Amino acid sequence: MSFPNPATSVKLVLLGEAAVGKSSLVLRFVSNDFQENKEPTIGAAFLTQKCTIGERTIKYEIWDTAGQERFASLAPMYYRNAQAAIVVYDITKPASFIKARHWVKELHEQASKDITIALVGNKYDLVEDDTEEESLRKVSVEEGKGLAEEEGLLFFETSAKTSYNVNDVFIGIGSKIPEAASAGPNQIHQTNNDGRIDLTSDPNNRPRAAGDCAC
Amino acid sequence: MGKKKQEMSQVYNNSNNEFIFGENGGKGKHLSSFLKNLSLTGTSSTSSVHSANTDNIHEINSNIYGTLGYSSSKVSSNQSNSGPPPKRSVSYKDLDDDWDADIDVSTDSVVRRSPDNRNLSRVTKVESNTSSRSSFNLQPSPMLDSLYPDLTLPATNSSVNLNSQKPTNEESLDVEDYRTTMEINRLNQISSRNNKFRNILISDSIVNLQDLRKLAWNGIPSELRALTWQILLGYLPTNRARQASTLKRKRQEYLEGLNASTIDFEDTAPSNSSSLYHQIKIDVRRTNQSIKLYGYPETQQSLRKLLYLWAVRHPASGYVQGINDLCTPFFQIFLLNYIWQLQQRVLSILEADTYWCLSRLLENITDNYIHEQPGIIRQVGDLRNLISKIDLELLNHLDHEGVEFLQFSFRWMNCLLMRELSISLIVRMWDTYLSETPLGFNNFHVYVCAAFLIKFSNDLKEKDFQEILLFLQNPPTGHWKEKDIELMLSEAFIWQSLYKNASAHLR
Ligand SMILES: Nc1nc2c(ncn2[C@@H]2O[C@H](COP(=O)(O)OP(=O)(O)OP(=O)(O)O)[C@@H](O)[C@H]2O)c(=O)[nH]1
Ligand SMILES: [Mg+2]
């Protein structure tokens, strides 16, 4: 296989409670698609996608794991060699946030020391139009951001459904991953107030379309 | 699904059929199979071959679908004159099993006095019913049940009982409770209207036609429509004691009328010399074709039969185009009534059978689904061992590329290849799994997985890590036919007989 630019391969794993939208996030990123009733993942699914950040091309090799507790014992096999992890919760489901906390802890204890972790609160579309008094939101932005700061994680709120912030997660992770030899100068991106990575790139300027993934 | 739903709601004239299409109800897509079953039982019950074999089939059918049919004259005379009297709920406890019997009030009172256990619940129902007729929890009248064998009322929706079970706590009346209350009110309204109909239809020995007309003028609840229409048209007598026997007699008469004709009503029958029948045939084909119901060959045959019979019996007018349309409201309203019965009767049977068979299946692979899924881990290990013996080259390639068996074959074990193969192929596979001893879902399945993997051996050996995983996640089985499965199964069988003992030894 050959690319115009030598691509950095990044092994990435998605973790999080069942039905928080891990597969949907990946589907959005890889195929720019969304399915209302996606079948639950069994074991894990493997996908790839390239993503261009400035001069660099990153090729993500993604393991989308199954969220059901019963499958949890398989997870170490997938995060063992991962350079990046996305821990997903559903901002309308408090239990999924607790589970996310556990995953972060487990990653810090078991995964490789320099793993880049992004904490992602998904299903933002469900709370978008909510009023203050009546909201489906059960996990506040502050809680999410708080955990991310405590543990040194990137933080995003996303919607796989509307695609809000989805690419930004992968761009954010890519920017933070050190280049093979030396850390790139653009690795530091702090999250700003509304939980979005401040990127110079146009968020509508999607990374390469589906089918580009070299396989 | 969305499209289907629309089609089906057309079928029922947008009648408010909550049972079938409501949020909690079944899915519209099951309807077509219900229709098919309906016509299947219909056909089989008119078959007049009298042998132990067909009796069995008939009995099974009536156990499964309920005794919806009434026998043609030939069959019923056979049953009453020769052979032992039909068994009644010996092996199958079904309170409704005397549906096809011609029960009138006198037998019903006998039933009520009967000490027979089987009827106890019915007796209780009758008593509780009289004491709480106007209350919210009114059960569908069991008297209607026995009086109108083919017009059973669907059971009151169980959610209706919410009211008594879950008293509203005024302090914590949140949105959910509010919604529930609204729903209960809505159901209450429907229920009180239904009760008015029920009262008219069952409270006196003679249905008061005047009252019924007054009430029905403003519309009839859909589950009572079939019954009410038949009374309003004077098909069903207002004298309740005579209703069941009238139904039976009229239906018999219809069948005899048909039997007298020489027409072959099959769609495939060679075109008939009768120009009348020819006209009916081409019209039926064009009747309501936007509605799926009328596209079924079974439906079309029914319409041909009844239109033809009417035409020959009414020579003054004969068949006139347009009459074909007039029969359709009846046809679908009465059909709807049966579907309610079917849904209730069949669904619970279907559920129960599925439950027990699933339990039996899972007994064989409990290790697959307990903590840490040791059964699957063992199977994946067995698969690897097998491949090392059958296709070492492939194993070496997978190892070289760093592909772990767990990464691709976990799902094969966890879902028994159901994500990899179409359901019709899986069904064929289960024919074999179920015939293996012990059942093939555990050990034999590993051999099948080996055969499955090796099918792609040549492809896989050309691929790298990523390509292998992407390929195996979505193996190209879309074009597979039963014979591909059968080949795979026989390969698995051969390997099982070759390696069965060896693999146990190897571990
Ligand atoms: N409204 C909304 N629904 C979403 C979103 N993302 C996913 N869903 C829905 O949530 C359900 C679960 O999504 P999946 O992507 O299958 O969840 P998962 O985390 O992969 O689940 P497992 O594979 O069981 O671990 C599906 O019905 C999705 O359509 C989102 O951003 N907004
Ligand atoms: Mg998933």
Q: Which of A39, A74, A215 sits opposite B410 (nearest CB)?
A: A74
Residue-range definition of the domain harbouring residue A18: 8-185
Inter-chain residue contact B466 with A45, CB threshold 8 Å: no
Q: What is the CATH number of the domain that holds A30?
A: 3.40.50.300
Inter-chain residue contact A46 with B414, CB threshold 8 Å: no
Question: How many whole angstroms from B1 Cα to the centroid of ligand 1?
Answer: 20
pLDDT digits (tens, 9 = 90+) for B202-226: 888 899 999 999 999 989 988 889 9
Q: Please give the share of chain B, as a percent, with pLDDT higher than 70.
A: 64
Q: Is the CB of A66 inside a 6 Å radius of any atom of ligand 1?
A: yes
Cβ count within 10 A of residue A1: 9
Question: In Å, how far are A193, B158, B188, B192 from B169, measured between CA atoms?
Answer: 42, 21, 19, 24
Cβ count within 10 A of residue B52: 8
Question: In Å, how far are B156, B264, B348 from B344, measured between CA atoms?
Answer: 11, 34, 7
Residue with the smallest CA separation from ligand 1 atom 7 is: A21
> Considering only CB atoms, which residues of chain B are within 8 Å of chain A?
369, 371-373, 404, 406-407, 410-411, 414-415, 419, 464, 466-467, 469-470, 473
Query: Domain B369-507 classified CATH 1.10.472.80?
Result: yes
Pick the residue with more confidence: B383 or A3? B383
Q: Is the CB of A122 inside a 6 Å radius of any atom of ligand 1?
A: yes
Q: How far is A130 from chain B (nearest CA, A)?
A: 16
Instruction: Indicate whether A110 belongs to any domain.
Output: yes
Mean pLDDT of chain B: 72
Q: What is the pLDDT of residue B288?
A: 87
User: Distance between alpha carbon B151 and the CA centroid of its chain, in Å?
Assistant: 18
Q: What is the pLDDT of residue A4?
A: 57
Of B142-156, B245-259, B268-282, B285-299, the one with minimum mean pLDDT is B142-156
Q: What is the pLDDT of residue B351?
A: 81
Pick the residue with more confidence: B356 or A131? B356
Q: What is the pLDDT of residue B405?
A: 97
Pick the residue with more confidence: B109 or A65? A65
How many Å apart are CA A5 and CA B58, to the nearest integer?
Answer: 72
3-state helix, strand, coil in chain B (%, to 5): 70, 0, 30
Q: What is the pLDDT of residue B28?
A: 37
pLDDT(B109) > 50: no
Mean pLDDT of chain A: 84
Confidence of residue B279 (pLDDT cuts 50, 70, 90): confident
State the total domains in chain A: 1
**What is the CATH topology of the domain spanning B243-363?**
Helicase, Ruva Protein; domain 3 (1.10.8)
Average pLDDT of the residues in A194-206: 41
Q: What is the pLDDT of residue A49?
A: 96
pLDDT(B431) > 80: yes
Instruction: Fill in the amino acid letter for B10.
Output: Q
Query: In 3D, which of A104, A213, A122, A137 has the Cα closest to residue A168?
Result: A122
pLDDT(B160) > 50: no
DSSP state of A178: P
Average pLDDT of the residues in B235-255: 92
ipTM of the complex model: 0.77
Q: What is the pLDDT of residue B3?
A: 43
Element (H, E) at B295: none
pLDDT digits (tens, 9 = 90+) for B368-393: 999 999 999 999 999 999 999 999 99
Q: Which of residues 25-84 of A touch B (CB under 8 A)?
A: 39, 42-48, 61, 70-71, 73-74, 77
Element (H, E) at A15: strand A8-16
pLDDT digits (tens, 9 = 90+) for A96-115: 999 999 999 999 999 999 99
The tokens for A185 are 């100068």
Q: How far is A40 from chain B (nearest CA, A)?
A: 11
User: Is B188 in contact with B162 (CB distance < 8 Å)?
Assistant: no
Q: What is the pLDDT of residue B182?
A: 81
Instruction: Indicate whether A78 belongs to any domain.
Output: yes
Q: What is the pLDDT of residue B187?
A: 81
Tokens 């629309």, residue located:
B6
pLDDT(B73) > 50: no
pLDDT(A195) > 80: no
Q: Which residues of A touch B371 (CB under 8 A)?
A: 70
Q: What is the pLDDT of residue B290?
A: 83
Confidence of residue B173 (pLDDT cuts 50, 70, 90): low
What are the residue ranges spanned by the domains of chain B? Answer: 1-43+53-71+87-126, 143-154+169-233, 243-363, 369-507
For every residue of B126-137, which 3-state class applies, written as one string?
A: HHHHHHCCCCCC
Q: Is the CB of A160 inside a 6 Å radius of any atom of ligand 1?
A: yes
Pick the residue with more confidence: B422 or A2? B422
Average pLDDT of the residues in B474-498: 95
Average pLDDT of the residues in B58-63: 40
Q: What is the pLDDT of residue B25?
A: 34
pLDDT digits (tens, 9 = 90+) for B18-28: 333 333 333 33
Q: What is the pLDDT of residue A55?
A: 87
Taking one residue from A and the other from B, the number of pairs with CB-CB distance under 8 angstroms is 39
Q: Is the CB of A99 inside a 6 Å radius of any atom of ligand 1?
A: no
Of A107-121, A125-139, B107-121, B336-350, the one with minimum mean pLDDT is B107-121
Closest chain A residue to B410, measured at CA:
A43
Strands A84-90 and A44-53: unpaired
Q: Which residues contact B439 (CB under 8 A, 6 or more apart)?
A: B361, B364, B433
Q: Please give the share of chain A, as a percent, with pLDDT higher than 70.
A: 80
Question: In Å, how far are A173, B294, B340, B470 from B16, measured between CA atoms?
Answer: 53, 20, 13, 47
Instruction: Indicate whether A103 belongs to any domain.
Output: yes
Q: Which residue of A35, A37, A70, A136 is the best one to mutate when testing the B interface, meaning the one whose CB has the most B CBs within 10 A? A: A70
pLDDT(B242) > 60: yes
Average pLDDT of the residues in B489-502: 90
Element (H, E) at B360: helix B323-363
Confidence of residue A86 (pLDDT cuts 50, 70, 90): very high
Q: Is the CB of A18 inside a 6 Å radius of any atom of ligand 1?
A: yes
Handedness of CA A118, A123, A124, A130 (dihedral sign): negative
Q: Which of A42, A61, A215 sits opposite B414 (nearest CB)?
A: A42
Q: Is the CB of A55 inside a 6 Å radius of any atom of ligand 1?
A: no
Confidence of residue B165 (pLDDT cuts 50, 70, 90): very low
Of A58-72, A103-117, B106-120, B241-255, the one with minimum mean pLDDT is B106-120
Q: What is the pLDDT of residue A116?
A: 97
Position in ligand 1 atom list of the atom nearest CA A39: 16
Q: What is the pLDDT of residue B476?
A: 96
CATH topology agreement for domains B243-363 and B369-507: no
Inter-chain residue contact B411 with A43, CB threshold 8 Å: yes
Q: Which residues contact B203 (CB under 8 A, 6 or more apart)?
A: none
pLDDT digits (tens, 9 = 90+) for A21-32: 999 999 999 999
Q: How wide is the angle at C-alpha B5 spanned by C-alphas B428 and B216, nearest 5°?
A: 125
pTM greater than 0.80? no
Q: What is the pLDDT of residue B23?
A: 36
User: Distance between alpha carbon B142 and the CA centroid of its chain, in Å?
Assistant: 23
Average pLDDT of the residues in B467-480: 96
Inter-chain residue contact B407 with A44, CB threshold 8 Å: yes
